[in-house]
C-alpha cells in the first residue's frame, strides 16, 4: 500500500481493479511485475465467467483445451506471484472527487465493502452477469431448481430431467455439457431458429439428439414447484397458442449476458445504449484516471483471448498515466 502524507485515513493504492476475471488478472500481472501497488476487488468468483465455463477450447497455447476453473486458477496464481492482492468484496461507488486532502485531483475515491479507499488509477473489469427471463418462479426457486451455471450445478441432476432455456451458443454448449448428468433435456427456444453457431448446432443434432429435444417457437411462461423443488415449466407454443407443460427436476437459463455497470449509475462515466462502458483509444473512460477492459467495455468481442489482450493494453496505459501523474504531482 502506498504511503502519502496528504492522504486521509483511507488507504491509498496505485491501482484498484474492480473485478478479477481474465482482463483484470492479466492487467495485474503487468502492473505488479513493475512494482505498481495493485489491489483487485471481486464480488463473485475469481476468474469471472471463465472460471465457471466447463471447457475452454479456443484459447491460444492450449491445443487440447483447458478446464475453465483450471485456467482461472493459473491466472490467479500468476498474478499473486508478482504481488497482486485480491480482496473478496465489492466496490459500490467510484468518484473523481476526494474531499479533505490536498492535491485531490491525484486520486479517485472508491467506496468498498472494506470501507473507503483511494487510488491513483482505477481499472473497471467487472465483466457481465447472466440475464434473467423474469417469469414467475424464477426468483423463488433460484438455487433450488433454477440455475445459470451448468458447471456449478449440473452434477446435482444426475439421472434427472432438465429444461434449458435459450437458443444461443451458451444454451447449446451447456445443454450438451448437461447430458453428462441428466437423463433427458428439453431445450426451449423462443424463435423458429437458433442463434448458436452452425458447428454447435451440428454437434447438438448429430451427437445428442437422443438426450436433447429441441422445442422451437416455445416461450417460457412460468416455473412451477413445490416448497423445496421445481416440478415443471409452463410455456406456450407460439405457432398454435397452445399451453405446454414440461415436467422437470431443474431449469437452466442461458439467454445472454448483461454488463455489471449498475454501480456506475450516479457517475459521469459514459455508457453506451447496452450499458457497456465507453472508452478512448487508450481504454480510458470519460472519468480521467479510470480505465476499462474486458467484456464490460463497449466494443468488446466477449472472448477470453480479447479480454486478456484488453487487460495487457490497459495496464500499459495505466503505467503511462501513473508516470505522467508522478511528474505532474511531484511524486518520488
C-alpha atoms less than 13 angstroms from C-alpha of 200 in its C-beta half-sphere: 16
Q: Which residues are catalytic?
A: 149, 152-153
- Using alpha carbons, list the distances in angstroms from residue 65 to 12, 54, 178, 200: 40, 11, 19, 16
Residue 116, burial from CB neighbour count under 10 angstroms (0-12, 13-18, 19+) = middle
Among 127, 190, 178, smallest CA distance to 154 is for 178
With a CB cutoff of 8 Å and minimum separation 6, the contacts of 259 are 126, 127, 128, 274, 275, 276, 277, 295, 296
Among 262, 267, 305, smallest CA distance to 286 is for 267
161 neighbors 247 (Cβ within 8 angstroms): yes
Q: Is 171 left (phi over 0), alpha (psi -120 to 50) or beta?
A: alpha
Three cell numbers, residue 144: 433450488
With a CB cutoff of 8 Å and minimum separation 6, the contacts of 250 are 145, 146, 147, 153, 156, 157, 160, 162, 163, 230
Amino acid at each position: 500500500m502506498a504511503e502519502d502524507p496528504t492522504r486521509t485515513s483511507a488507504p491509498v493504492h496505485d491501482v484498484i481493479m474492480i473485478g478479477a476475471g481474465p482482463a483484470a488478472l492479466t492487467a495485474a500481472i503487468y502492473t505488479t511485475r513493475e512494482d505498481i501497488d495493485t489491489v483487485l476487488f471481486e464480488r463473485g468468483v475469481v476468474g469471472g465467467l471463465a472460471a465457471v465455463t466447463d471447457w475452454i477450447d479456443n484459447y491460444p497455447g492450449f491445443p487440447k483445451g483447458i478446464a475453465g476453473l483450471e485456467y482461472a486458477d493459473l491466472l490467479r496464481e500468476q498474478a499473486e506471484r508478482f504481488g497482486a492482492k485480491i480482496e473478496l468484496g465489492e466496490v459500490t461507488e467510484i468518484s473523481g472527487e476526494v474531499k479533505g486532502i490536498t492535491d485531490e485531483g491525484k486520486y479517485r475515491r472508491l467506496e468498498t465493502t472494506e470501507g473507503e479507499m483511494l487510488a491513483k488509477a482505477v481499472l473497471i473489469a467487472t465483466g457481465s452477469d447472466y440475464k434473467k427471463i423474469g417469469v414467475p418462479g424464477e426468483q423463488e426457486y433460484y438455487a433450488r431448481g433454477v440455475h445459470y451455471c451448468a458447471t456449478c450445478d449440473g452434477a446435482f441432476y444426475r439421472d434427472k430431467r432438465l429444461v434449458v432455456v435459450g437458443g444461443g451458443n451458451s444454451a447449446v454448449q451447456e445443454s450438451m455439457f448437461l447430458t453428462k448428468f441428466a437423463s433427458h433435456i428439453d431445450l426451449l427456444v423462443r424463435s423458429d431458429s437458433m442463434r448458436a453457431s452452425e458447428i454447435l448446432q451440428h454437434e447438438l443434432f448429430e451427437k445428442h439428439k437422443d438426450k436433447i429435444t429441441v422445442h422451437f417457437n416455445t416461450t417460457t411462461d412460468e416455473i412451477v414447484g413445490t416448497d423445496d423443488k421445481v416440478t415443471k415449466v409452463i410455456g406456450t407454443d407460439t405457432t398454435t397458442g397452445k399451453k405446454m407443460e414440461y415436467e422437470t427436476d431443474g431449469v437452466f437459463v442461458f439467454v445472454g449476458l448483461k454488463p455489471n455497470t449498475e454501480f456506475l449509475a450516479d457517475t459521469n462515466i459514459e455508457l453506451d445504449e447496452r450499458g457497456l462502458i465507453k472508452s478512448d483509444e487508450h481504454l480510458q473512460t470519460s472519468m480521467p484516471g479510470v480505465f476499462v477492459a474486458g467484456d464490460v467495455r463497449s466494443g468488446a468481442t466477449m472472448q477470453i483471448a480479447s479480454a486478456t489482450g484488453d487487460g495487457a493494453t490497459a495496464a500499459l496505459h495505466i503505467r503511462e498515466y501513473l508516470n505522467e501523474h508522478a511528474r505532474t504531482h511531484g511524486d518520488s
